[in-house]
Amino acid sequence: MPQETYTVASNPSPVTASGGEAPLVHVLFSGESQTKPGHRLGPKVYDFYLMHLVLSGRGTFMLNGSKHELGAGDTFLIQPEELVSYESDPDDPWRYRWIAFAGGMAAELVSAAGFQPGSPIANLPDRRRAAVLYNNIYRTFRNAGASASLQSAGWLQLLMALYRDHRADNAEDSGIRRQENEDIHRQVIHYLSTQYSHPVSIEQMSEALGYNRAYLSRTFKQRAGMSPVSFLLKLRLDKAKLMLRERPELTVEQISASVGLQDALYFSKQFRKQFGQSPTSYRKEMFGGDH
């Protein structure tokens, strides 16, 4: 079990500048802690922004009754006046770095990074870059130079840019996936709508469209609410129902073959299952006689 540690450094510069005006973004303090098992803070509120990056271990963050299980690479942001609590895991307590900040532009900076009320969590696949920026702020305060306040504000903005870029990349990936899903949905419908009267193999369709069969079927089902096989059968039965009304000169067997179902008994069984009556009964109901 790792030994408990705690270090913190405060901004040596006052919150207000020499002219009496508060800076637009002011980093208050920064630190790092290896928590002890079950270490808990809160429920409590802060009057500043407080952002933690989990370096290792696990813990939970509670906000407005919602519980977030967090681990290495996760960030949780506490906004001013939010009632929060957070607790390290009893078996694998987390180690994290944190920064506290305030200022007239702090809310805008937080929003630009993608953090919103009720959405306080982010995950960075490469947490090393973020960890370096947190540490840069800490070391800036430890060095206590005359420009510490300006330097820390600059490091904070670079850090927020990391979060912003990560969320933008995720949004772009999501957009690409959505577009691909829509393309698959449209391509499958077009393919089956033109090929339904022939023997259709989902494997052949997947190969023709250039997708793995399992991926294509799963993606189509997510978008359409049914598998390609179920969609094809429904399409064939709908076409057969239309032909039963519009082509009275054709037998049920001929209509079954025309929609790609060579087994007339199977066709009749599926038609009854779909529409609650046999093809023959449906046709009689439409025309009031035998056909």
pLDDT in the model for residue 291: 43
**CATH superfamily ID and name for 5-171:** Regulatory protein AraC (2.60.120.280)
User: What distance in Å separates the CA atoms of residue 270 and residue 234, rounded to the nearest whole number?
Assistant: 9
Domain limits, the chain: 5-171, 180-227, 229-287
User: What distance in Å separates the CA atoms of residue 122 and residue 113, rounded to the nearest whole number?
Assistant: 10
Q: How many CB atoms lie within 10 A of CB 73?
A: 18
Closest CA relative to residue 152, chosen from 285, 290, 26, 6: 26
pLDDT in the model for residue 170: 56
- The length of the chain is 291
pLDDT in the model for residue 2: 80
Q: What is the rounded (10 degree) CA torsion for 186, 191, 196, 198?
A: -170
DSSP 39: -
Mean pLDDT of successive 10-residue stretches along the chain, which has 291 residues: 91 66 84 96 94 96 90 94 95 96 91 82 83 95 90 93 73 58 88 91 86 86 90 95 93 95 94 94 77 43
- Phi/psi at 152 (5° precision): -65, -35
- With beta carbons less than 8 A apart as the criterion, state whether 22 and 75 touch: no
Residue 63's contacts (CB-CB under 8 Å, 6 or more residues apart) are 78, 82, 83, 84, 118, 120
Closest CA relative to residue 39, chosen from 97, 93, 92: 93
pLDDT in the model for residue 48: 95
- With beta carbons less than 8 A apart as the criterion, state whether 28 and 75 touch: no
pLDDT in the model for residue 21: 59
pLDDT in the model for residue 290: 46
pLDDT in the model for residue 246: 92
Tell me the CATH number for domain 229-287. Answer: 1.10.10.60
Q: What's the CA angle centered on 128, arms 125 and 134, to 5 degrees?
A: 115
